[in-house]
Structures are given as structure tokens and as C-alpha cells.
Amino acid sequence: MFSQKVVNVKGLLLGGDNPVRVQTMYDNVIFGQDVEAILHKMRLLKSMGCELIRFSYISSDDKENFTRICSENIMPVVADIHFDYKMALEALECGAPKIRINPGNIGAKWKIEEVVRAAKDKGAVIRIGLNSGSLPKNDKGLSKSDLMVETALEYASWFSSWGFEDTVISLKASDPDITLEANRKLKSSCPYPIHLGVTEAGGTVTSCVRSSWVLGNLLKEKIGDTIRVSITGSIETEVQAAIEILRTVGLKKGGVRIVSCPRCGRHSFDSQGFLDRIQTSLLSVDRNLTIAIMGCQVNGPGEAKNADLAVTGIGRKAFLYVRGELSREVDIESAEKALFEEIDKF
């Protein structure tokens, strides 16, 4: 058995016994965007627990903004490159500590070699990212998962022959079983850190269910060093979902745990709207807290007893509990402010 490799993405270690890292992907082009707004969003995502963020680097127009994004050091930035090896070279020039390429769509081998040698010079990491929809011809009649593994390992061996070992591999398919199979085979065949995800996983519900199943199973088998939950939806939700998966399988402790009322005929308070408004802020609170948001007097006071802090809405009033004891009663409009005051005091 080989020993697992660890790579260093600008101080963030991936692989081996290091924690499983949470990633997301910026959901817009870089060029023409307000860079300050992007940096603000990155800080928010970081406060929620995101550790790596990927950007599509698609043209030289991105250079100025991307250089700034890399230089702020909010969290390591990954450049996503397709087809044009010059974009990979340029992204490395901008300061990207990691790039993601599918060597199969970069073209001639010498172009791939040039990218790999440039990454080596810069001390950058490369993720070989293969999706089941972009594989080479299956001349040997392999199963899809075998073809994915064999292809990735061949690219990794090219990298090794050029003296490059800071490789991460991802094998993604929209089919959960193929993703499971491919990653199990990959783990038993190579020492490189593995990035996990289910590609094109769909909207929030579909993606969270598929990703929880696939990533949860793999993580329980100690497969996976970084994860992304791809959602056709907000990137804050991607980060939240990734962290919930890590918590559920016992790989992440601490942070805010939210208990909330699913609503029934008794609810007299819009617990869903309340939670939607405050969820991102709650997940950015750097404390180990259980917070209950409840919708009526039936379960509200009971759940409040098991939580550090609780809000129970009853009609136009909100009741705040601290360690199970009623602390104050406020108008419903002031509940949000009152809750964050209690968090600050806690």
C-alpha cells in the first residue's frame, strides 16, 4: 500500500490525515464584475466554512480582476481551465495556487507539459478533473468507471514523468453509482488527494440528496479530501450543504446547529421566512451553538430547553430563550435583532 500524498495550496493542506476541505465555485464570469463585491462574497463564504473557491478563467479579459482576487488571500483560489492551455499559463501568472484542467480537452501533449512545468515553477497544484461526459474513446471496452480511472491515472503518470507530483484528481459523473465506483477504484489505485463531487447534480433538493448519498458513503469509507456539492442554485447553499454532509458523517464538529420547526397547522409564525432571512448570518457565527427556531407553543418551549438559544414565535410575539429559560419577549419585527443580541451576549 502506498502512502497518501499531501499537497499544499497556498498553506491549505489537502490529502493524508488533513481535514476534508469544503469548496465551491463562483457562479459568474470574472470580467466586468465588481471585484469588491466578489471579495465581499468570498469573505462571507469563508465565514461560513468555505476553504477553496474555483473561478472559470475563460479569457485574458479576466486577468486584472483575477490577479486582484488571488492577491487578497481570502482563501486559496482555483482557476478552472478548458481547451486553451494559454489560459492556464495566464491564470498561474495571476497567482492562482491551483488550477483544474481536463488534459483531454487541452490538446497536444506538449501544451499540457508546458502547463505542468509552469505550475511546478510556481509551486501550484493541478487538479485533473474528469467528468463522465468528457472521456477519451473507449477502445478497450472498459466500464465507464474503469475508463475514468485509467484515463486519470495515465494523465497523472505524464505529470510524474515531468517531475510533477502536486496532483489532485476528481472523477465526477451525474450517475451516483458510477461516481461511487470510480472513486473507490481510484482510491485503491493511487496516492493522490481526491476531490469529490457529483456533477450536474440538479437543483437544491436533487443535488443535496444525490450528493449526500454519494459523498456520505465515500467519506465514511475515508475516500475524499475535498468536496463540492454542485447545486443549480446559490453558492452559499453549496457551502452549507457541504458542511452539513461533513457534520452528518462526523467529520466536522462545532459551528451553529439549527433546529427548526417544519411547520404544521398550528404554526402562527413564519418560521421558514425567518430562517431564510437569517440562515447565512447564523452559519457565519463562529461559536458552537444549537439554535432553535420554533413556530408555536406546543414544541417551542420544549425544544428551547435543549438548545442554547431559541426563538418561539406565537402570533405577533417572539419569545427568546437562553439555555432553556425565557429571557425576553419582543414584537415579531424585532425578533431577528433580539436573537443576534442574545448570540453576542451568549
Residue 262 touching ligand SF4 (CB under 6 A): yes
Instruction: Give the shortest CB-332-to-ligand SF4 separation in angstroms.
Output: 15
- Cβ proximity to ligand SF4: between 76 and 300 the closer is 300
Residues near ligand SF4 (CB under 6 A), total: 12
| Distance, CA of 15 to CA of 38 (rounded, Å) | 28
Nearest alpha-carbon partner for 320 in 289, 282, 298, 294: 294
Residues 245, 24 contacting (CB under 8 angstroms):
no
Instruction: Candidates 8, 189, 281, 299: give the one binding ligand SF4 (CB under 6 A).
Output: 299
Phi/psi of residue 321, nearest 5 degrees: -120, 140
- Cβ proximity to ligand SF4: between 15 and 295 the closer is 295
What region, left, alpha or beta, does residue 73 occupy, with left being phi > 0 and alpha being psi -120 to 50 degrees?
left
- Cβ proximity to ligand SF4: between 97 and 300 the closer is 300
Residue 296 touching ligand SF4 (CB under 6 A): yes
Q: Of 85-93, 173-181, 228-236, 291-299, which segment contacts ligand SF4 by CB under 6 A?
A: 291-299
Instruction: Candidates 40, 220, 222, 263: give the one binding ligand SF4 (CB under 6 A).
Output: 263
Q: 127 by DSSP, 3-state: which?
A: strand
The whole-angstrom distance between residue 309's C-alpha and the CA centroid of its chain comes to 28
Instruction: Give the shortest CB-187-to-ligand SF4 separation in angstroms.
Output: 42
Output the nine-digit C-alpha cell for 153. 491515472
Instruction: Candidates 152, 267, 283, 308: give the one binding ligand SF4 (CB under 6 A).
Output: 267
Residues 201, 174 contacting (CB under 8 angstroms):
yes
Instruction: Candidates 295, 309, 338, 342: give the one binding ligand SF4 (CB under 6 A).
Output: 295
| Distance, CA of 184 to CA of 32 (rounded, Å) | 41
Residue 291 touching ligand SF4 (CB under 6 A): no
- Cβ proximity to ligand SF4: between 280 and 297 the closer is 297
| Distance, CA of 303 to CA of 290 (rounded, Å) | 10
- Cβ proximity to ligand SF4: between 210 and 267 the closer is 267
Instruction: Give the shortest CB-260-to-ligand SF4 separation in angstroms.
Output: 8
| Distance, CA of 277 to CA of 124 (rounded, Å) | 39
Instruction: Candidates 142, 259, 298, 332: give the one binding ligand SF4 (CB under 6 A).
Output: 298
Output the nine-digit C-alpha cell for 221. 469509507
Q: Of 89-97, 176-184, 238-246, 298-306, which segment contacts ligand SF4 by CB under 6 A?
A: 298-306
Residue 305 touching ligand SF4 (CB under 6 A): no
Q: Of 2-10, 124-132, 146-154, 289-297, which segment contacts ligand SF4 by CB under 6 A?
A: 289-297
Residue 220 touching ligand SF4 (CB under 6 A): no
Instruction: Give the shortest CB-203-to-ligand SF4 separation in angstroms.
Output: 25
Q: 116 by DSSP, 3-state: which?
A: helix
Residues 287, 253 contacting (CB under 8 angstroms):
no
The amino acid at residue 343 is I
Within 26-138, strands assigned E span 52-56, 77-81, 98-101, 125-131
The footprint of ligand SF4 (CB under 6 A) covers 261-264, 266-267, 294-296, 298-300
